[in-house]
Structure 1
Amino acid sequence: MSTPGGPMQPSHGPYLPTTAGLGGMPTKGLDVPITSVFLVLFVLGAVTHMTILQINLRRGHKFIMSGLLFGFCMARIMTCTMRLVWSTYLTNISVAIAAQIFVAAGVLILFIVNLIFTQRIIRATHPHLGWAKTFSWAFKIYYACIIGLLIALITCTVDSFYTLNKSSRRADRDVQLLGSTFFAVAAFLPIPLVLGSIIIPKKTRVEKFGSGRFRTKIYVLLFSSFILSLGAFFRAGTAYVPRPRNDPAWYDSKACFYLFNFTIEIIVVALYAVIRVDKRFHVPDKSHGPGDYSRTAPAQEAGEQEPEMEKRSSLADRVLSEEQVFDDDEETQVGSPAERQTDVEVGLTKPEPTQ
């Protein structure tokens, strides 16, 4: 984020920044159409994930991460809206501050979602480690640090626009650099943790959860973590080498801004909707220890028949199941047998071959 100060400043805050920010000042001719496209995409993402959340809740299938993905899309809708307003009122520094804060803060939701998925992978591969109180508390403390640093980052960013004191600006910049670095590590952390869970010898069989192949869960998580960490490290790297506002570097260009922010994020949002993470990463409610991920739901254990509402196939269940994307192996099929049979009846999938 930009650090204010320098000559020709207003008599009072907020003051103009002296360093170039990622993406620079928005323009009507270029930023408005591009930002409008991303605004529409994030609206579609919000509608999709909220639809999936509501359908699952009606079925008693609780998956809070769909709500977090909806919240992220809403944050990005606000980000795009603020950037559009900023392109119209270029001299309004308050709008510029809000736009920069939303750009930096919104993506943290995706980092937290990936960390939750990572924790579930570790608990499935190494349950005695993943369910240990020390390990669980480590994740909780890490989430608290993310939220705490976010609050500090917002506070220091706002303060940096309202002071010309060199000591205060230096302290604000130190916090901004710490925050951007910490967030980049948070984006990258799922990769070494998941790879470590694969490499470290297992004491028990993998406790599979959700639908689909376990390896596909790992591929999806590694891919999304990689591209998110790519964007996070790019933002952190540019923060360490600021350039004057009148002489921006190539990494301050609008192309880099949209590529390493909105483009990466909408890919993850779309991927998580198409690949149906709400089914792949779902675990039984009230899971508290080893063996809980693979336990059967109480209604199924008792031999009870599923409610009629749960048997109905909705549009959300027909969003490109993995057997359409990859192959027809039974282990890769997403959804319950009743839902897959409905897909066959409406012609969305091929019937299973008879043995």
Structure 2
Amino acid sequence: MTITLQAREASHGPPYVSYSVASIGGHATIHQDIPVCAVLLLVYIVGAIGNMSIYRLNRRKGHKFLMSWAMFGFCMSRVGTFVLRIASATRPGNVRLAIAALIFSNTGVLVIYIVVLLLALRVFRATHPALGWNRSLGKALPIAYGLLLGAILLVIAFTILSFYTLNPTLRTVALWVQRAAILYLLIFNIMSLVLLLLSSLLPRAPDNENFGTGSMDSKLIILGIAVFFSNFIAAFRTGTSWAAARPASNPAWYDSKAAFYVILFGFEIIINYMFLFTRFDKRFWVPNGSNKPGDYSQFGLDDSTASKTPEEDKASVQDAV
């Protein structure tokens, strides 16, 4: 069966695609996918407008919160995802469009992973300053970010490779590299869950502090919802990547279009709009240059960010956003 499939693929030349194996969401079609993609496209466009509007408004006030800009970038990446998927549905023979849509689908969510971890880190540093500002943790985070970048580059590279070779050894290597990289993305997400649990379960330190607007409990609730959905997305991606391939004639439940759109994109939308409606740009704001215990509560949200010197403003890369 494999030889026959490869021969049929080879006759068309690279990139090679198999229609006999089920994939998450299946191949895009005009009648099933375009209406859904059009609605989601509009939802993400509105999200992009909302995040950029808030970012520009805050910037005019001297309020620096780059996570709003990051969420704008995330929404725009999803706009690209659905534009490509719609184009792929209208041109089913164009495999390169399908590959591009797949890559956009897999990489865009990284912004949410990073933002959620940064928020969890801020809460942990506020509730447990001695642990949160520990030097070892500060050194481990850049390594985690570097590995995240490496993981996504591997996913992109070996995803493309898997479409451009019929060599079974190379395809097996590509599969396992992708699985390992996606597993790391789950581990990266679990770090935010661990920080949230430590912030919630450990007794708060005597020198704990608050930041931004709203109570710490409200921040924990918002963060808890975001952590739940981001970890669910990462776990779903990991589970499906490690599951055995199913024939297209008998796909698993997780290969359905409903699972594809609801879990991979619906949960993202919940996180994005929750951040917008709860004004996370105010709730999770910290003074620029915060790099030690006590810095979070040193200035209020209404204090000018210019009250710190340029040297202090550059003091902490981790909390610059």
TM-score normalised by L of structure 2: 0.88
Aligned partner of residue 31 in structure 2, secondary structure = coil
Overall identity of the aligned pairs, in %: 38
CA contact (8 A) 1:185 1:229 kept: no
- 2:282 maps to amino acid: K
Q: Partners in 2 of 1:27 and 1:290 — Cα distance?
A: 54
Structure 1, gaps ≥5 residues long: 305-355
Q: Report what 2:263 is aligned to.
A: 260
CA offset digits 1:66-122 (Å, max 9, x no partner)? 011001000000000000000001111101111111111000100000000011011
Q: 2:139 aligns with which of 116, 137, 140?
A: 137
- 1:159 maps to amino acid: L
Q: Report what 1:95 is aligned to.
A: 97
Q: Give 4+ residue runs of structure 1 displaced > 3 Å after superposition.
A: 297-301
CA contact (8 A) 1:42 1:76 kept: yes
Q: Report what 1:308 is aligned to.
A: none
RMSD of equivalent CA atoms = 1.8
- 1:13 maps to amino acid: P
The CA deviation at 1:179 is: 1.8
Residue 290 of structure 2 corresponds to residue 287 of structure 1: yes
Q: Partners in 2 of 1:29 and 1:300 — Cα distance?
A: 53
CA contact (8 A) 2:129 2:207 kept: no
CA offset digits 1:286-335 (Å, max 9, x no partner)? 1111110000269959xx9xxxxxxxxxxxxxxxxxxxxxxxxxxxxxxx
Q: Report what 1:68 is aligned to.
A: 70
Question: Per the alignment, do residues 287 and 168 of structure 1 end up closer, same or farther by CA in structure 2, a change over 3 Å counting?
Answer: same
Aligned partner of residue 30 in structure 1, secondary structure = helix
Q: 1:121 aligns with which of 97, 115, 123?
A: 123
Aligned partner of residue 189 in structure 1, secondary structure = helix
Q: 2:217 aligns with which of 212, 215, 218?
A: 215
Aligned partner of residue 9 in structure 1, secondary structure = helix
Structure 2, gaps ≥5 residues long: 308-321
Q: Partners in 1 of 2:273 and 2:46 — Cα distance?
A: 9
Q: Report what 2:247 is aligned to.
A: 244
TM-score normalised by L of structure 1: 0.80
The CA deviation at 1:248 is: 1.9
Question: Per the alignment, do residues 300 and 183 of structure 1 end up closer, same or farther by CA in structure 2, a change over 3 Å counting?
Answer: closer
Greater shift in the superposed pair: 90-99 or 244-253: 244-253
- 2:259 maps to amino acid: C
Q: Report what 1:6 is aligned to.
A: 6
Question: Per the alignment, do residues 300 and 29 of structure 1 end up closer, same or farther by CA in structure 2, a change over 3 Å counting?
Answer: closer
When Rg is computed on C-alpha atoms for both structures, the one with the higher figure is: 1
The CA deviation at 1:45 is: 0.2
Q: Report what 1:275 is aligned to.
A: 278
CA contact (8 A) 1:190 1:222 kept: no
Aligned partner of residue 9 in structure 2, secondary structure = coil
Q: Report what 2:311 is aligned to.
A: none
Q: How do 1:33-182 and structure 2 match up within 5 A?
A: 33-182=35-184
Q: Partners in 2 of 1:6 and 1:110 — Cα distance?
A: 38
CA offset digits 1:35-66 (Å, max 9, x no partner)? 00000000000000000000000000000100
- 1:114 maps to amino acid: V
Question: Per the alignment, do residues 277 and 88 of structure 1 end up closer, same or farther by CA in structure 2, a change over 3 Å counting?
Answer: same
Q: Partners in 2 of 1:134 and 1:15 — Cα distance?
A: 46
Aligned partner of residue 10 in structure 1, secondary structure = helix
Greater shift in the superposed pair: 99-108 or 181-190: 181-190
The CA deviation at 1:246 is: 3.8
Q: Report what 2:310 is aligned to.
A: none
Q: Partners in 2 of 1:34 and 1:106 — Cα distance?
A: 18
Aligned partner of residue 39 in structure 1, secondary structure = helix
The CA deviation at 1:203 is: 3.7
User: How many positions carry a matched residue from both structures?
Assistant: 298
Aligned partner of residue 122 in structure 1, secondary structure = helix
